[in-house]
Amino acid sequence: MKYLVTDDSKLARRVLVKALLTYTDEAHIFQATNGLEAVKMTLKERPDIVFLDLTMPEMDGYTALPKLRKINPDIKVVVVSADVQEQAKEKVLALGAKFHIAKPINPQKLKEILESLANE
Ligand SMILES: [Mg+2]
């Protein structure tokens, strides 16, 4: 299983990468700092699960999400965002995200999400 962590915040990426290291090793975790990099990384590394921030420079999460799903229709996108408004949540789920969770992600929530995705 390959994971891609996409966030323009270095701290946010670090927190999520650290949590993911409970489940996998560093070689299976990739990082991107904006939507455009996420698209490039998805083409190159073919991650199974992408964690995607919404507000980012260059290309935001809303724009990147359908592009990621076009590259790989089976890709599992988990939006991790501080924007927890119902409207934002509905929009990303309509675009094909599996989950929309509040930032910062806590380890228990991450565990639940990974288990849920594994059981699909
Ligand atoms: Mg951001």
Domain boundaries, the chain: 3-118
Please give the distance, rounded to the nearest whole angstrom, from the Cα atom of residue 100 to the centre of ligand 1: 14
12 falls in which pLDDT band (50, 70, 90)?
Answer: very high
Please give the distance, rounded to the nearest whole angstrom, from the Cα atom of residue 101 to the centre of ligand 1: 14
| Full-model pTM | 0.96
Q: What is the pLDDT of residue 84?
A: 79
Q: What is the pLDDT of residue 31?
A: 98
What is the C-alpha to C-alpha distance for residues 76 and 53, in angstroms, rounded to an integer?
Answer: 14
Please give the distance, rounded to the nearest whole angstrom, from the Cα atom of residue 74 to the centre of ligand 1: 25
Domain 3-118 of CATH type 3.40.50.2300: yes
Of 111, 117, 115, 77, residue with least CA distance to 94: 77
120 falls in which pLDDT band (50, 70, 90)?
Answer: confident
DSSP 57-98: SSS-HHHHHHHHHHH-TT-EEEEEES---HHHHHHHHHTT-S
Q: What is the pLDDT of residue 51?
A: 98
Interval 86-113: pLDDT, tens: 898 999 999 999 999 998 888 999 999 9
Please give the distance, rounded to the nearest whole angstrom, from the Cα atom of residue 83 to the centre of ligand 1: 10
Interval 26-38: pLDDT, tens: 999 999 999 999 9
Please give the distance, rounded to the nearest whole angstrom, from the Cα atom of residue 28 to the centre of ligand 1: 23
Please give the distance, rounded to the nearest whole angstrom, from the Cα atom of residue 58 to the centre of ligand 1: 11
Interval 36-85: pLDDT, tens: 999 999 999 999 999 999 999 999 999 999 999 999 999 999 999 988 78
Three-state DSSP class for residue 2:
coil
